[in-house]
Copies of this chain bind each other. A is one copy, B any other.
Amino acid sequence: MPYVNIQLTPPESSTAEQKSEVIKGVTQVLEQVLNKNPHETFVVISEVPIGNWGVGGLPVEEYRRQNSAKR
């Protein structure tokens, strides 16, 4: 009976197909590893505006400009 919340920034927008694959993949992980019933597994994707996400004490876009990290 798991609940999963996935928060991410959509630098390029995720398509409906990609979201569908994420939902499927995460649900399968919980079924395979922990035997959780998919019909009782909720997956909620929260798309966070890029300016609302910070890391390293900076908004993420500013952080990326200052650091050479691949997303």
> CB within 8 Å of B: which of A20-54?
20-48, 51-54
The interface residues of chain B lying within 8 Å CB-to-CB of A51 are: 16, 19
CB distance from A53 to the nearest CB of B (A): 6
Q: Is the CB of B56 within 8 A of A20?
A: no
Main secondary structure of the interface of A (DSSP, over half): mixed
Bound form: Cα–Cα A55–B43 in Å: 6
A4-B4, A6-B2 as given contacts; A42 in contact with B53, CB under 8 Å: yes
Among A14, A18, A23, A43, the one with the most B-chain Cβ atoms within 10 Å of its Cβ is A23
Mark A residues whose CB is within 8 Å of B: 1-9, 14, 16, 18-48, 51-60, 62, 69-71
